[in-house]
Amino acid sequence: MTRSKLYIDGQWVEAKSGKKRDIINPYDASVITTVAEGGREDAIAAIKAARNAFDNGGWPQTPATERARLLFKLADLIERDQEELARLESLDTGKTLEESRWDMADIAGIFRYFAGLADKDAGEVIASPNPSSSSTLVREPVGVCGQISPWNYPLLQASWKMAPALAAGCTIVMKPSEITPLTTLKVTELAEEVGFPRGVVNTVLGIGSEVGAELAENTDVDLVSFTGGISTGKTIMRAAAENVKKVALELGGKNPNIIFDDADFDLAVDYALNGVFFHAGQICSAGARIMVQDGIHDKFVEALKCRMEKIVIGNGFDDKTQMGPLISAQHLKKVQRYMDIAQDDGAKLILGGTTPTDPTLKDGFFFMPTLFVDCTNDMKIVQEEVFGPVITVERFSTEEEVVKRANSTIYGLSAGFWTKDPDRIKRVSSALRFGTIWANDFNVYFVQAPWGGYKQSGLGRELGKAGLEEYTEVKHIYQNH
């Protein structure tokens, strides 16, 4: 097991209040371990340490090649300990060990990618209107960054923030979700082993309305990067306005997966299922809103139902398990509430909708794969993020109609569609208003490609070169000769 304290200014410390929190295993509601629960005072101490490391510690001036060396070393340590990290992640979130192993392999790659980018930007010379002058653009680190991550992909989301911020020369205060802090604590330990200078990396555990709110409000924080729900994102944006703090927001999604009549049927069924049931549907990019064209609608629904009946639910550490539990009792209640809401709105439940009857799963936060048909655009279950193993199916007739309906949402994170027609691929990719479009695939992401949302799904981008640029300011240096 990993450390259980806060990491502030190069020291492992208890929360100033002495508060603790039990970390719960979603598989059986048992206590995995108990960790320190920080509050505002601890957040302030960490922000001061990060401010000092940025202003006086020399981290922004450290050659980019040296910052890269430390990040490459961190990637090596993550790879060395990846099995332990994967097991911790599955304990903490309930997701299958196979999924956690994929995450950990990705995470080492994310640190390597940003380590590789750290020393590539040498600035840019631009044309100046005055022939006796020169103009140069340089990118500088934005400063102290508050980083707030969610519980669904705890370390993956944290790494999307930590790696580019450190590569850019920023100092960080990381706040993982209070219910899933274990892998972030472990990686903080690895950062200590790497030997980042004191105060560059700080990790403060605690609840959002205390530690998170302090990161959003404190005027010594230059940027707050947040991944989580829309309403929390709005609260953070309001708080950040106080000192015009920069904000990067990765918020929710309600992601359409559109199946045209001419799709490769079997592949579309496979990916429709993969698109939803990873981590029991608790993915911001889950393709939970499936839209099927008239000609194949009934056959597609039947195929989905047959396959969903066979999904093996259980302990994420069991090789046979394909889907684990939801994250918490509270979240299970939220998903359950949607069952009534959907049926009151007229959706027809044809599978699931309940907790499992298997007595061995009775203590965990499990929910059965659930399928609603006869869904329409105006239903809450279609418009809102359920964040569970729940599919809604809508029927459509024409390309024009489905694109219009798919776009009629406040979200704009990702969308997918299936067709063999190359002209349609061009038209639909261009017409859909989402940050990522998958044509004949679903849920693919990789570190080289920027990730983020249109509309209320967020602000800014993570990953790719854009993910590094979020952590920089551009300075124009004009010199008159």
Binding-site member from 181, 212, 281, 364 for ligand NAD (CB under 6 A): 212
**H, E, C per residue of the chain:** CCCCCEEECCEEECCCCCCEEEEECCCCCCEEEEEECECHHHHHHHHHHHHHHHHCCCCCCCCHHHHHHHHHHHHHHHHHCHHHHHHHHHHHHCCCHHHHHHHHHHHHHHHHHHHHHHCCCCCEEECCCCCCEEEEEEEEECCEEEEECCCCCHHHHHHHHHHHHHHHCCEEEEECCCCCCHHHHHHHHHHHHHCCCCCCEEECCECHHHHHHHHHHCCCCCEEEEECCHHHHHHHHHHHHHHCCEEEEECCCCCEEEECCCCCHHHHHHHHHHHHHHHHHCCCCCCCEEEEEHHHHHHHHHHHHHHHHCCCECCCCCCCCCECCCCCHHHHHHHHHHHHHHHHCCCEEEECCCCCCCHHHCCCCCCCCEEEECCCCCCHHHHCCCCCCEEEEEEECCHHHHHHHHHCCCCCCEEEEECCCHHHHHHHHHHCCCCEEEECCCCCCCCCCCECCCHHHEECCECHHHHHHCCEEEEEEEEEC
Binding-site member from 81, 178, 222, 470 for ligand NAD (CB under 6 A): 178
Does position 232 interact with ligand NAD (CB under 6 A)? The reply is: yes
Does position 49 interact with ligand NAD (CB under 6 A)? The reply is: no
- Minimum distance from residue 60 beta carbon to ligand NAD (Å): 26
- Cβ burial, residue 386 (10 Å; 0-12/13-18/19+): buried
- Minimum distance from residue 422 beta carbon to ligand NAD (Å): 30
Does position 164 interact with ligand NAD (CB under 6 A)? The reply is: no
Tell me the per-residue interface mask from 104 to 143 with ligand NAD, x by CB under 6 A, - otherwise: ----------------------------------------
- Minimum distance from residue 358 beta carbon to ligand NAD (Å): 26
Q: How many CA atoms lie within 13 Å of 386's alpha carbon, on the beta-carbon side?
A: 33
Rg, the chain, Cα only: 23
Does position 225 interact with ligand NAD (CB under 6 A)? The reply is: no
Does position 284 interact with ligand NAD (CB under 6 A)? The reply is: yes
Residue 192 falls in the annotated catalytic set: no
Binding-site member from 229, 237, 454, 466 for ligand NAD (CB under 6 A): 229
Stretch that binds ligand NAD, among 12-20, 39-47, 149-157, 426-434 (CB under 6 A): 149-157
> How many residues interact with ligand NAD (rule CB under 6 A)?
32
Does position 251 interact with ligand NAD (CB under 6 A)? The reply is: yes
- Minimum distance from residue 239 beta carbon to ligand NAD (Å): 7
- Give the integer Cα–Cα distance in Å for 426 and 41: 53
Binding-site member from 26, 109, 150, 460 for ligand NAD (CB under 6 A): 150
- Give the integer Cα–Cα distance in Å for 223 and 251: 16
- Minimum distance from residue 38 beta carbon to ligand NAD (Å): 11
Closest CB to ligand NAD among 57 and 460? 460
Judge contact between 150 and 178, C-beta under 8 A. Answer: no
Does position 227 interact with ligand NAD (CB under 6 A)? The reply is: yes
- Minimum distance from residue 174 beta carbon to ligand NAD (Å): 10
Beta-bridged to residue 293, according to DSSP, are 396
- Minimum distance from residue 157 beta carbon to ligand NAD (Å): 5
Does position 237 interact with ligand NAD (CB under 6 A)? The reply is: no
Binding-site member from 35, 148, 240, 468 for ligand NAD (CB under 6 A): 148
Does position 183 interact with ligand NAD (CB under 6 A)? The reply is: no
Closest CB to ligand NAD among 142 and 284? 284
Binding-site member from 216, 347, 386, 468 for ligand NAD (CB under 6 A): 216
- Minimum distance from residue 331 beta carbon to ligand NAD (Å): 8
Residues from 437 through 466 that contact ligand NAD (CB under 6 A): 453, 458
- Minimum distance from residue 368 beta carbon to ligand NAD (Å): 21
Q: How many CA atoms lie within 13 Å of 303's alpha carbon, on the beta-carbon side?
A: 15
Does position 258 interact with ligand NAD (CB under 6 A)? The reply is: no
Binding-site member from 42, 81, 89, 250 for ligand NAD (CB under 6 A): 250
Closest CB to ligand NAD among 33 and 436? 436
From the candidates 99, 210, 250, 385, give the one annotated as an active-site residue: 250
User: How many CB atoms are closer than 10 A to CB 145?
Assistant: 30
Does position 436 interact with ligand NAD (CB under 6 A)? The reply is: no
Does position 330 interact with ligand NAD (CB under 6 A)? The reply is: no
> Which residues sit at the interface with ligand NAD, rule CB under 6 A?
148-153, 157, 175, 177-178, 207-209, 212-213, 216, 227-229, 232, 235-236, 250-253, 284, 385, 387, 413, 453, 458
Active site residues: 250
